[in-house]
Amino acid sequence: MESGSDVARLNEYAQKKKSLGLLKYEDLGSFGPDHIKTFTQRVVLNDKVYPEGVGKTKKEAKNNAAKNALRDLEEAARQPSVGTTAVENYNPTSAQQEKELNQNDSDICNQTRSLSVNSQDNSSEQNNFIGLVNHYCQKKNRCHTFIEDRRWGPAHEPQFFYRLIIDNKEYPVAKGKNAKEAKQNAARHAWFALQEQSDWDSKMSVRSTVSEGGAPPVLSTPSTPVDSHEASSQRTSTSKSNSITFEDSPNPSQAQIPLEPDNGTPTRLSNSLESITSSQSMSSGTSGSGLFTDSSNSSKDQHAVKDKNMGNTENETPTHSRFTSEFDIIDCLGRGAYGCVYAARHKLLNKCFAVKIVRSDEKALREVGTLSDLLHSNIVRYYTFWMEDSRYQGHITVGSSAGSFSSSQSIDDPSAKYLYIEMELCQTKTLKKWINEKNTQSQPDTKRRQESQTIAQQIVNGVEYIHCKGHIHRDLKPDNILFGVDGVVKIGDFGLVTKDDDDDDDDIALMERTRQRGTYTYMAPEQITGKNYDRKVDIFALGLIYFELLWKLSTGHERVVVWNDARSLKLPEQFSVTFAEENKIIRLMLREKPEDRPEACELKAELKKWAQTQHLHKERATY
């Protein structure tokens, strides 16, 4: 479609449907250095905000914003009568139609609220994702069905787990307080995945072909398809699907049931969650978030179990490692306390990913479990994970290019297992580097304030999403905040993530380890003292980050003094003068008592208000 045509289509639609009120485009500013700057715009129609459009120019961003709005309007309008698009076929002839369309608009609003990457994703919200998926499948001639994965919990408080399967592809398991809610949530997972169709589908199909020598990938329990109003006409047989399987089980050993492969021999996957838990003493209650198995591992990986020498020397080509056989390793992006992160190109997909390799323990399992639960534009996108018996040992020095790695003998514990976590590849520049660059610029940076605000807003959006999913990040700091290739802020490193209501022993041990590593710079006071704490620790860290984004901190002793003062709510006098509005917000975030700190959603609203005020000032200044 020709550039700009979505803007024209949306204009036409808004004109025809005058009752919708004024069609507005909001300019949300630009981000990034000049040569890779991205612009963001969004549509507001009848006071409803539609998903943001991002582009390399304002025009492109505007057109993408119009495209997103049209997509939502069309999707919503299709719900009551499949095949009709509100945009193309709008022709109100009666008050009833007008009423229906208004109803559609309210549906659209609901969907937008939920689909918008920046909005709160409340899993209990009953948006019609089932309807969206239903319609999508009809349009694309795909079969889909909901599968009840399991039920869990006491009779008075049961939890239902459902997954959606579309054309033999399984999407992540979702839970709900009842079957309907679980199905809606499963449809939501699938819907988001479908938004990224090319990625998801191709990856899924690649995974399903990994199996060699006829060895079937191990699947999870082939549950009985349940009757679904939404899916009854679309049911398909799925029990032998070769696609990836996610498990979201607080009781992993029960979740893994060996399947009868085609030859009738029961098979059990070496890296099933059961084997993970048997060797790793996984605590089922710690994260409470979705643990899942990746059934894509095949005979290749089972082979790797027997061969513990993979990847150790240049001569011994690590052919038995899924990592080295499926990926070209490009670069070592960094080493954390627990593992390494590599940039790697998937050979079949010809697409680059970040693959984090960590020893499999609670922290790592917690990280993948949580990441699999999160899908938000301001959170590093997780794709999949698998287990290997060895850690990739090609020692590439950080930042070096492919092929230059040398051999090194493994000093790993032979009984250890390693998690390979495949994620979205971000820029190598972290927020820490961004801050350092700003602080070392000799000229005053006139854009710093505006950019800081955009960054802070994006972090808050991500944190709001994490909190509304019932998690606490607990390790927010500029080092753990990355930029996507398009410049969008991405929260990463979920190694310390926990459930908001968690306070078990493993958790305390994990925090103790973190404290010992001295990363308490951004920790809330109650987190340092080891008291009971909740999601408000993330708000405290965010307050410090926002302060650091804006304020040029010197190095050495002075920095320590300013930092400690800031932690005790004594912000530099000049700061409160120069950044009066931000000062107010930050002071709320840094309050000593967690209950006095704002919730992420309140902060989001506050920052948005502040951004709009600034925007108005800027506009006035240009006239």
| Piece in contact with ligand ATP (CB under 6 A), picked from 238-246, 310-318, 424-432, 528-536 | 424-432
Q: Is residue 333 involved in binding ligand ATP (CB under 6 A)?
A: yes
Q: Interface with ligand ATP by CB under 6 A: which range of 75-83, 187-195, 330-338, 451-459? A: 330-338
Residue 362 in the binding site for ligand ATP (CB under 6 A): no
| In contact, 62 and 7? CB cutoff 8 Å | yes
Closer to ligand ATP by CB, 117 or 341: give it: 341
Q: For the chain, how many helices (H) and strands (E)?
A: 21, 17
Backbone dihedral region for residue 498 (phi beyond 0: left; psi -120 to 50: alpha; all else: beta): beta
* d(C-alpha 355, C-alpha 9), whole Å: 41
What gap in Å lies between CA 595 and CA 539, rounded to an integer? Answer: 11
In SS3 terms, 379-402 reads as ECCEEEEEEECCCCCCECCECCCC
> Which positions from 67 to 96 touch ligand ATP by CB under 6 A, shown as an x/- string?
------------------------------
Cα separation of 507 and 510, whole Å?
Answer: 5
**Cβ of residue 490: shortest distance to ligand ATP, in angstroms?**
7
Of 64, 111, 185, 430, which lies in the binding site for ligand ATP, with binding defined by CB under 6 A? 430
Q: In this chain, which of 29, 172, 339, 478 binds ligand ATP, going by CB under 6 A? A: 339
Residue that has been written with the tokens 């999508």 in this structure: 136
* Minimum gap (Å) between residue 366 Cβ and ligand ATP: 11
Residue 101 within binding range of ligand ATP, rule CB under 6 A: no
d(CA 579, CA 554): 18
Cβ distance to ligand ATP smaller for residue 250 or 495: 495
Q: Which of 70, 354, 460, 550 binds ligand ATP (CB under 6 A)?
A: 354
430, with CB counted inside 10 A (0-12, 13-18, 19+), is buried
- What is the enclosing helix (H) or strand (E) of 567? helix 556-567
Stretch that binds ligand ATP, among 205-213, 268-276, 311-319, 476-484 (CB under 6 A): 476-484
Q: Pick the closer one to ligand ATP by CB: 83 or 518.
A: 518
Distance CA 225, CA 411 (A): 47
Selected binder of ligand ATP within 181, 361, 479, 506 (CB under 6 A):
479
Nearer to ligand ATP, 87 or 476 (CB): 476
159 φ/ψ angles, rounded to the nearest 5 degrees: -120, 135
> Per CB under 6 A, which region of 270-278, 332-340, 399-407, 615-623 contacts ligand ATP?
332-340
Options 307-315, 477-485, 559-567, 576-584: segment touching ligand ATP (CB under 6 A): 477-485
In whole angstroms, the minimum distance from the beta carbon of 422 to ligand ATP comes to: 9
- For residue 90, give Cα distances in angstroms to 48, 81, 95, 147, 538: 19, 13, 13, 37, 46
Candidate residues 480, 523, 582, 586; the one interacting with ligand ATP per rule CB under 6 A: 480
In the complex, the smallest distance separating the C-beta of residue 354 from ligand ATP, rounded to whole angstroms, is 3
Q: Which long-range contacts (CB under 8 A, 24 or more apart) does 602-608 make?
A: 603/460, 603/464, 603/539, 603/542, 604/457, 604/460, 604/461, 604/464, 607/453, 607/456, 607/457, 607/460, 608/457
Q: Which region, judged by CB under 6 A, interacts with ligand ATP, from 3-11, 318-326, 331-339, 528-536?
A: 331-339
Using CA atoms, how far residue 430 sits from 7, 392, 486, in Å, is 35, 24, 14
Q: Give, rounded to a whole angstrom, the gap between the first and last alpha carbons of the chain.
A: 34
CB of 587 to ligand ATP, least distance (A): 28
Cα→Cα distances 249→5, 294, 363, Å? 47, 13, 17
Alpha-carbon Rg for the chain, nearest whole angstrom, is 25
- Residue 297 Cβ vs ligand ATP, minimum distance, rounded to whole Å: 22
Q: Name the amino acid, one letter, at 387.
A: M
**What's the min distance (Å) between Cβ of 36 and ligand ATP?**
16
Stretch that binds ligand ATP, among 53-61, 281-289, 336-344, 592-600 (CB under 6 A): 336-344
DSSP H or E stretch at residue 609: helix 600-622
Q: How far is CA 378 from CA 59, 110, 177, 456, 457, in A?
A: 23, 21, 27, 11, 10
Does 363 appear as a known binding residue? no
Q: Applying CB under 6 A, does 489 fall inside the site for ligand ATP?
A: no
Q: Which of 492, 543, 594, 598 binds ligand ATP (CB under 6 A)?
A: 492
Which of 36/82 has CB closer to ligand ATP? 36
Cβ 176 vs Cβ 247: under 8 Å: no
According to the binding rule CB under 6 A, does residue 487 interact with ligand ATP?
no
Number of residues that bind ligand ATP (CB under 6 A): 21
Phi, psi at residue 508, to the nearest 5°?
-65, -40
Supply the minimum distance, in Å, between the C-beta of residue 82 and ligand ATP. 39
- CA distances for 515 relative to 338, 512, 530, angstroms: 15, 5, 10
At its nearest, how many Å lie between ligand ATP and the CB of residue 360?
A: 14
Do the Cβ atoms of 321 and 388 come closer than 8 Å?
yes
Between 82 and 508, CB nearer to ligand ATP: 508
- Give whichever of 117 and 269 is closer to ligand ATP, judged by the CB atom: 117
Q: Is 338 in the site for ligand ATP (CB under 6 A)?
A: yes
Site string for ligand ATP, 381-420 (x = CB under 6 A): ----------------------------------------
Return the bridge partners of 166, or none.
144, 169
Q: Which stretch binds ligand ATP (CB under 6 A): 119-127, 160-168, 479-487, 567-575?
A: 479-487
In whole angstroms, the minimum distance from the beta carbon of 538 to ligand ATP comes to 15
**Per-position b or e across 125-148, b if 16+ CB within 10 A of its CB:** bebbbbbbbbbbbeeeebbbbbbb
| Single residue of 341, 459, 497, 542 touching ligand ATP by CB under 6 A | 341
Phi, psi of 189 (to 5 degrees): -55, -45
Report the residue from 109, 425, 497, 590 that binds ligand ATP according to the rule CB under 6 A.
425
Q: What does DSSP say about strands 144-152 and 159-166: parallel, antiparallel, or unpaired? A: antiparallel
Q: Is residue 423 within the footprint of ligand ATP (CB under 6 A)?
A: yes
Q: Note the residues at the interface with ligand ATP (CB under 6 A).
A: 333-334, 336-339, 341, 354, 356, 380, 423-426, 430, 479-480, 482, 492-493, 495
Q: Which residues are annotated as a binding site for ATP?
A: 356
Q: Which residues are annotated as a binding site?
A: 356
